[in-house]
Amino acid sequence: MRSEACKVTVILHKPEGYLSTFTRRTELWAKALLVPGNRCETDTQNQLNPSRLRRLVPINPLEYSASGLALYSEETSLITRFADCEEEYHVVFRDPITQPKLYTLRSDIYIDGVEIPPLEVKQLSDYSAAISIRGASSKLRKACRLAGLDIRSIKRLRMGNVSLGDLMCGQWMLLRRYQLT
């Protein structure tokens, strides 16, 4: 058994339309993008046996219709660590963001009978915002729907202190140990 310090964790910039978890249609499985040819060209610090990529499990999977930061790891304890961490998303809406809609997002919201804390929302334009939430992107979609906002696209930028950075869509790179602290 490998020590926790030697276990591999990677960041993938998952494209929209890929599944984070296992499916029989492997062409739609985001994990199928974890091949040496998709490794970020600047991520050359460590050699990695490609067979280790097949053993990785998704950490806090990203929904099919969302893009952005997806973590895969041999370290299954990260599933618990990232289960309820703060996540940041860039969200583009089909309709303009109005003050009443912002107020709704920044207030206490009940989703499926459970109160979620107010969202941290930074409006970027009339049609987009950076939104931080604890928990899954599906909660974010429901909160936006309750506020009367129809989402055009959603991209996860950060999970806890792990950021997508400049990683190009479809590329992956090794996550260094210090990036998890």
Q: What CATH code is carried by the domain that includes residue 106?
A: 3.30.70.1560
Q: Are residues 94 and 118 in the same domain?
A: yes
Q: Are residues 100 and 74 in the same domain?
A: no
Q: Are residues 68 and 103 in the same domain?
A: no
Q: Are residues 37 and 90 in the same domain?
A: no
Closest CA to 175 of 67, 14, 37, 39: 39
Domain of 72, in residue numbers: 4-83+161-180
Q: Are residues 54 and 75 in the same domain?
A: yes
Extract long-range pairs of 107-111: CB within 8 Å, 24+ residues apart. 109/143, 109/146, 111/139, 111/142, 111/143, 111/146
Domains identified in the chain, total number: 2
Running DSSP on this structure, what letter comes out for residue 19? B
User: How far is the CA of 128 from the CAs of 41, 69, 149, 150, in angstroms?
Assistant: 30, 18, 11, 11
User: How far is the CA of 47 from the CAs of 36, 44, 50, 96, in angstroms?
Assistant: 11, 7, 9, 47
Q: Are residues 153 and 106 in the same domain?
A: yes
Q: Are residues 51 and 121 in the same domain?
A: no
Q: What is the pTM of this model?
A: 0.90
Q: Are residues 77 and 90 in the same domain?
A: no
Per the prediction, the chain carries an average pLDDT of 89
Give the residue carrying structure tokens 């996550």: 175
Mean predicted confidence (pLDDT) in 88-95:
97
Residue-wise pLDDT tens digits, 22-65: 766 666 889 989 999 999 999 877 788 888 998 899 998 898 99
Q: Are residues 51 and 71 in the same domain?
A: yes
Q: Are residues 127 and 140 in the same domain?
A: yes
Q: Are residues 19 and 33 in the same domain?
A: yes
Mean predicted confidence (pLDDT) in 133-145:
86
CATH code, domain with 77:
3.30.70.580
